[in-house]
Chains A and B, each alone.
Chain A
Amino acid sequence: MEPTLRDQLARILGGSTVLPGHGHEIDGITPQAVVRPVDRLQVSEVLRWASSENVSLLPRGGGTRTGLGNVPRKADVVLDLGDLDKLVDYQPADMTAIVEAGMTLTSLQEQLALGGEFVPLEAGIPGRSTVGGILSVGSGGPLSYAYGLPREWLIGIGVITPQGVATKAGGNVVKNVTGYDLNKLYAGSLGTLGVIVEASFKLLPINPHDGTLLASFPSQADSIAACRKLLHSPAAPMGCHSVTSGVSRRLQDSLQAASQGLGLGEEETSLSFAFYSGRARATGRRLEEAAALLLAEGATAVQRVEGLAAKSMLRWVTDIPSEASNSSALVIKISVQSRSAARASAECGDVLLFGEKPEQMADPGFGSIRLFWPEQSESPARGVDADQPVLDAVQKTRQIAHRYEGSAVVEQCPLPVKRQIDVWGDPPDSLAIMQSIKNQFDPRGILNPGRFLGGI
């Protein structure tokens, strides 16, 4: 009898690092094994083996975003990088750090805080999200307006190629044009080009003071319009978010202490968050000016929180996408030009699924909007196609995103729907170059096959 993949892996790495795949289903597929290498050499060995045996590998960090991407063509083995979790080097005076990919964002930030610094990466569930996972997804959070995406902070990277060869790009200096900037290529590549094992980051000093404004508005449109005004004022925040009542209600328990008197829970209420950070005096002045501006722009109530409470508020908002997805049938993130955020939000608000409008979380500065359609309240009658309405909602949302020169990524949907679509949307005209890059890097297609844009 042929040895199972699990047996083969156990023979290469030793039994303790290989586990059964049960409980690690990805889009309905149960992998045959989960392998958890203890160091980079083992990562190389796994890749070399997978490459020669044509075994597909799904790299995994904290497993917080494994639902992102198309249904894999093949999912033989999950490559869990959780044991590569060391801080390799951190010199506070250089404001750079080198870290292994499996380290969680929380433990990295804790280490950096000892030096008075932080890395401007943002992720939901940071106690589980890993550096490598955050880089592979490549997305930001509530402060993307100020900090951009992880790509902006990544200065060097260590990657094991699909053939098992250890390579690097960039370095550990904050300014570097030596060779092609592969950091940018790997960030956001969803683990399809190689396995990230190490990353160097440019850091920032922790600001001494944080402040957040919460403002309630009669509608999401009012909320977004006010945020746009604020972003273009001298009291501009580092980021703004407008969330609809369903989202804010969900957060109400955690927000209660801070948000009393905001009139939350009323119909058609939208809540704006504006995040500030800096020196105490200047931050205080901006919070004051911003509060006045938001009231003048129609806020029915404004509340100001500072210090730790402001930090917690930012934490909650960062977690919204993961929290709200739990009870959603369909989650789509659209990215448009920021000036179109208000119109795109209004139009998306009219896309109904099972008769319900989507809840929204909009970033009017960065130009991204997450849409959460709730699960169907009653199970569909027999014989009724439950997939078609979801497909229709996806289609309509995409049309809106395209109208504003943007994209729409389906982050979550029922599996039968997922099997029928490319969750990344229509490919751009540069798809051929992307496919060619993939073919050059991973000619056998062993890494996350089929999960990325255009079947990459």
Chain B
Amino acid sequence: MDFKRFLKGLQGIVGEQNVVYHSDDLLVFEYDGSVDRGTPEAVVFPSSTQEVSRVIALAHSEGVPVVGRGTGTGLSGGAIAPPGGIQVAFPRMNHILDIDTENRLALVEPGVINLDLDTHVRKLGLRYAPDPSSQKACSLGGNIAENAGGPHCLAYGTTTNHVLGMEVVLENGMVVNLGSLARETVGYDLRGVFTGSEGTFGIATKIAVRLLPVPEAVRTFLGIFPDVESACTAVSAVIEHGIVPAALEMIDALTIEAVQKVSDAGYPDDAGAVLLIELEGLQDEVDEISGEVEAALWETGATQVRTAEAEEERELLWVGRKGALGALGSIAPNYFLVDGVVPRTQLAQVLARVAEVSRKYDIPIANVFHAGDGNLHPCLLFDERQPGALDKIVEAGTEVLQVCVDAGGTLTGEHGVGLEKKEQMPLVFSEDDMAVMVMVRDAFAPDNSLNPGKIFPDGKKHKPHAHPAHSGMPA
């Protein structure tokens, strides 16, 4: 392929200023939020579906792989370009096209930032429920690719439960619509299987999402516990009351230590775990359930319980949780974040085994996680400058995933498989299971030219690079 001619072709479609290809300019596109790295040959910024279609068709005809890139906050290497590939990014396709309050849906372009949509519709008494912790920076196109989660997915489900329909561009440049603006459609649920396909089926260029009414009342509880075990018991106690909180989050002692170093979250020095619970609903329902939650926290050994209902006060309770990953920079230069999920009842045992892995490898592990849905986020802390540190981390991380799988869980709850966990897929799925998945990909993208080399094991060990903890995107 004549790369110069190819570049000219791209420039002809989107305009010269909307193609980046100088190596200096490409540096910022090497990364996402994970440990992987890969330099694209070029990055293209289209402004319309038609341009996306033409770019992808051109790349396809030249045999160049294409990766859609949201804002690069992903945590599994999903947006990393394969060798010789280009990225299509969406800073110019960032418009909210329509808000339909009667139907409670929004039609957006893929570059719209998650929080921007939520903030926009809140003025109308509505909300966009999925709230990945990177929601200030991450885009809805990326959310679709990864089926993003977030703390409030416990009650409202993940991205897939909120996407109604989308317009997507296939690898040959063809534009098709999946799903519809109606809640029920005929045929296979292609919109459902597309969501979370990590950019391997196509690139979404228009997205219709459901909006929910803002709840009448919100109340947040913060419980301080002497250790993770008692905090886990509190989680079970709340659930046993038939309560499904909007969010149920936990941080452990090491994370608390880090948080205390950088911010004033006001945790006592001997705190072994902090549990955050948020209730949403009708005022009298929240009032009624609050008593039960508070009682459950005290009964399971909380040494302190704080509650807040006003938004500003609630924000204060969330400070420690939201700043947790960033705070880890105060105790180690780098971290490797694992996204395993286990059945909720296994949390305490799994955390104990994670602690064993920590001792075995002599790696400090800080835990920040979505306790309500059993989604762990063990952060393996290290210093990449120490020789061999990264290899050891990857080995320990794999062992943590094995612990999760042994407990009846799986590899990733919300970050995706990407490059990072593809070689671990056989821990969960057989060759036959994966062969069926590949058949679906073959139906969408028979030439496998969109985001190739992700999700499925191919024996090509990816070369992880250290991720500086201080710049870490919250998970």
Contact = CB atoms under 8 A, between A and B. Distances in A.
B175 to A, nearest CB: 9
B374 interface: yes
Interface residues of B, number: 85
A431 B443 CA distance: 11
B414 A175 contact: yes
Contacts of A404: 182
A406 interface: yes
A168 B415 CA distance: 21
A282 to B, nearest CB: 4
B303 interface: no
A368 interface: yes
Interface string B384-427: 00000000000000000000000011111111110001000100
A339 B284 CA distance: 30
A407 B345 contact: no
Given A175-B375, A278-B285, A430-B176, A436 B187 contact: no
Nearest to A187: B189
A177 interface: yes
A366 B429 contact: no
Given A184-B160, A339-B103, A175 B373 contact: yes
Contacts of B100: 339
B370 interface: yes
Contacts of B412: 176-178
A305 interface: no
B411 A178 contact: yes
B147 interface: yes
Contacts of A94: 343-345, 374
Nearest to A152: B161
Contacts of B375: 175
Interface in B212-263: 213, 216, 236, 239-240, 242-244
Contact of B188 (A177, A188, A278, A337): A188
Contacts of B21: none
Given A95-B239, A182-B437, A204-B244, A337 B192 contact: no
A281 B291 CA distance: 14
A91 B186 contact: no
A166 interface: yes
B304 interface: no
B442 interface: yes
Given A179-B428, A282-B285, A437 B440 contact: yes
A334 to B, nearest CB: 9
A207 B430 CA distance: 39
Interface string A429-443: 111011011011100
Contacts of A431: 187
A151 B375 CA distance: 21
A425 B182 CA distance: 15
A180 B181 contact: no
Contacts of A339: 100, 102-103
Contacts of B190: 185, 430, 433-434
B204 to A, nearest CB: 13
Contact of B410 (A171, A439, A453): A171
Given A175-B149, A178-B411, A182-B440, A279 B341 contact: no
B278 interface: no
B455 interface: yes
Contacts of B153: 175
B405 to A, nearest CB: 9
B311 interface: no
A425 to B, nearest CB: 6
A162 to B, nearest CB: 11
Interface in A113-170: 116, 138-140, 144, 148-149, 151-152, 159, 161, 165-169
Given A180-B440, A278-B285, A337-B181, A172 B408 contact: yes
Nearest to A156: B410
Contact of B433 (A169, A176, A177, A181): A169
B135 to A, nearest CB: 16
A58 to B, nearest CB: 18
Nearest to A170: B410
B58 interface: no
A148 B410 CA distance: 25
B192 A185 contact: yes
A439 B433 CA distance: 17
A15 to B, nearest CB: 31
Interface in A389-446: 404-407, 409, 424-425, 427-431, 433-434, 436-437, 439-441
Nearest to B417: A178
Contacts of A440: 439-440, 442-443
A41 interface: no
A376 B54 CA distance: 55
Nearest to B193: A185
A209 B440 CA distance: 43
Nearest to B433: A167
B288 A279 contact: yes
Nearest to A159: B436
A366 B184 contact: yes
A177 B146 contact: yes
B413 A176 contact: yes
B181 A405 contact: yes
A177 B192 contact: no
B371 to A, nearest CB: 12
B280 to A, nearest CB: 13
Interface in B169-225: 170, 176-178, 180-193, 195-197, 213, 216
Interface string A62-100: 000000000000000000000000000001111110000
B343 A96 contact: yes
Given A180-B196, A180-B441, A282-B288, A168 B239 contact: no
A177 B421 CA distance: 11
A304 interface: no
B7 interface: no
A173 interface: yes
B410 A176 contact: yes
30 contacts: A94-B374, A116-B242, A149-B183, A165-B432, A167-B432, A168-B429, A168-B430, A169-B429, A169-B433, A171-B341, A173-B341, A175-B370, A177-B158, A177-B415, A178-B428, A180-B196, A180-B197, A181-B147, A181-B192, A181-B193, A182-B193, A184-B192, A184-B195, A185-B190, A282-B284, A282-B285, A405-B181, A428-B186, A431-B187, A437-B188
| 8 closest Cβ pairs, A-B complex | A184-B192, A205-B242, A282-B285, A436-B443, A339-B102, A440-B439, A335-B184, A175-B413
Interface of B: 100, 102-104, 146-147, 149, 153-154, 157-158, 160-161, 170, 176-178, 180-193, 195-197, 213, 216, 236, 239-240, 242-244, 281-282, 284-285, 288-289, 341-345, 370, 373-375, 408-417, 421, 425, 428-430, 432-434, 436-437, 439-444, 446, 455
Given A188-B189, A338-B103, 17 more contacts: A92-B240, A93-B345, A94-B374, A149-B183, A168-B433, A173-B341, A177-B414, A182-B436, A182-B440, A187-B192, A204-B244, A407-B185, A428-B177, A428-B180, A437-B440, A452-B187, A454-B187
